[in-house]
Structure 1
Amino acid sequence: MSAVISLTDITKTFARFDEQGDSGKDGGEAQGITVLKGITLDIAHNDFVALQGTSGSGKSTLLHIIGLLDRPTSGSYALLGHDTAGLDDDHQSDLRNQALGFVFQSFYLIPYATALENVILPGLYSGKPRVELQARAESLLEQVGLADRMHFRPSRLSGGQQQRVAMARAMLNEPDIVLADEPTGQLDSTTSAEIIKLFHRVHEAGTTIVLVTHDADVGREAGRIIKLHDGRIVEDIR
């Protein structure tokens, strides 16, 4: 099966400065911290992948590169057959909005917008009619069990309900791939299990999922576990 995500020898180095000055002044010299060290990885259509590793292992940095939220220092990355290095920021943004959905630990809902308005938001850049976007958003909120909460603002929703809104928002543009960074990190075990059930439903519908987690139980829900250590893949288990 062809890869929807193909990474070849990806490295990522962040600049830092020595103690003499954080901006290179007063004799300070720029130094590099290499977080990813030659990651080569293919992820196929409809894979359900968990990225695991200790804090600082590089898993979130890798997810950000996959999500076109950051660029690698070196190496090549093809997303759905597109060589991302050849795309300028605008074209990367278009590809990200069309192909990817995101779910984060902190939900990132707009506090003054209702659940429905939060779900509609990523569709505003698609050019689709508002009425069409609203109908799909309402359907998605019904599917995640929030039909009676769609006009509530985030402050009136529990953490689990807010994450359900984030799941619906991620699916609005019918992405090929959903990327999730610690999506159960702020939830209790019962609510976490409910959110993981939603991920399984999304996966069963044909969507590729790449999920970062510290939780071994959450990781075992995936069909493939990739473990990182010190910026390198040390295990790839199906």
Structure 2
Amino acid sequence: MTEPAISMTDITRTFLQQAERDGDADAGIKVLKGITLDAAQGEFIALQGTSGSGKSTLLHIIGLLDRPSTGTYRLLGQDASTLDDDHQSDLRNLSLGFVFQSFYLIPYATALENVILPGLYSGKPRNELVSRAEHLMEQVGLSDRMHFKPSRLSGGQQQRVAMARALLNEPKIILADEPTGQLDSTTSTEIMKLFHTVHDSGTTIVLVTHDEQVAREAGRIIKLHDGKIVEDTIR
């Protein structure tokens, strides 16, 4: 039986306030309240919910950008709950790609240089990284914009650069947080087509959205409310 890409058991996340640090155990903000979730390799999952439902916090834990307060989390067969920061960083860089609502492109670097950035920590030769980055830029339809800086790109083009960057290290899982949130409907449709292309190659995708139409693009919709899973639908 294939190991799940993501396996979470009774995950909670509480953010401490000063009163709790001073000894008041009830002062923390409980954002996740016992999340149990398995995601098979190759799934396309949408995490949906209103603001404050816990969906972005959950994505950050999946992406090893945060740690749960309690519970067990296995990522690609490894117990990520017990890894130290350095080993989490290695696992994150080699296995995960990120696409955010804000594109987080370096303004003084070209589009191609932005795509290459995650590979600088991989130890691969620069010429190999450049070759793959150029190929990815062609795949996202920006072969003629490789040497443009972000200020000369539209929002949709910047998000395409961000997707190419996320794919540079050939991650097994792509995590996306409101990737169409700053885009018009036509551009959003184009970006979602790119996600489907990536998914068709066998990559697992977990996408956070509040948008019902975007959520319906996924094969599975998990709805959160008040830090809990309230609905899990396979479409």
TM-score w.r.t. structure 1 length? 0.95
Letter in 2 for 1:53: G
* 1: CA distance, partners of 2:183 / 2:18: 37
Residue 76 of structure 2 corresponds to: 80
Instruction: Give the corresponding residue for 2:165.
Output: 169
Shift of 1:127: 0.1
Amino acid at match of 1:158: S
Given candidates 210, 220, 227, the residue that maps to 1:231 is 227
Gaps of 5+ in 1: none
Q: Does 1:178 align with 2:179?
A: no
Aligned to 2:3: 2
Query: Following TM superposition, by how much is the alpha carbon of 1:222 offset from its aligned partner in structure 2, in angstroms?
Result: 0.2
Q: Percent identity?
A: 78
> Partner of 2:30 in structure 1?
34
2:124 matches 1:128? yes
Distance in 1 between the 2:3 and 2:88 partners?
21
User: Distance in 2 between the 1:218 and 1:78 partners?
Assistant: 27
How many residues matched?
Answer: 232
Distance 1:139 1:159 in 2: 21
CA distance in 1, matches of 2:129, 2:182: 29
Q: Which amino acid is the alignment partner of residue 15 of structure 1?
A: L
Could you say what secondary structure the match of 1:138 adopts? helix
| 1:202 equivalent in structure 2 | 198
Cα distance, 1:16 vs structure 2: 1.5
- Alignment of 1:142 with 2:135, yes or no, is no
2:100 aligned partner: 104
Q: Which TM-score applies when normalising by structure 2? A: 0.96
Which consecutive residues of structure 2, in runs of 5 or more, have no partner in the other structure? none
What does the per-residue CA deviation read over 1:171-200, in whole Å, with 9 as the maximum and x for residues that have no partner? 000000000000000000000000000000
Rounded Cα–Cα distance in structure 1 between residues aligned with 2:53 and 2:21: 26
SS of alignment partner, residue 3 of structure 1: coil
Structure-2 separation of matches of 1:163 and 1:85: 31
How big is the shift at 1:2?
3.0
The answer to whether residue 91 in structure 2 is matched with residue 90 in structure 1 is: no
Distance in 1 of aligned mates of 2:166 and 2:120: 13
Q: CA separation in 1, counterparts of 2:97 and 2:128?
A: 18
Give the alignment's Cα RMSD to 1 decimal. Answer: 1.4
Q: Which amino acid aligns with 2:200?
A: E
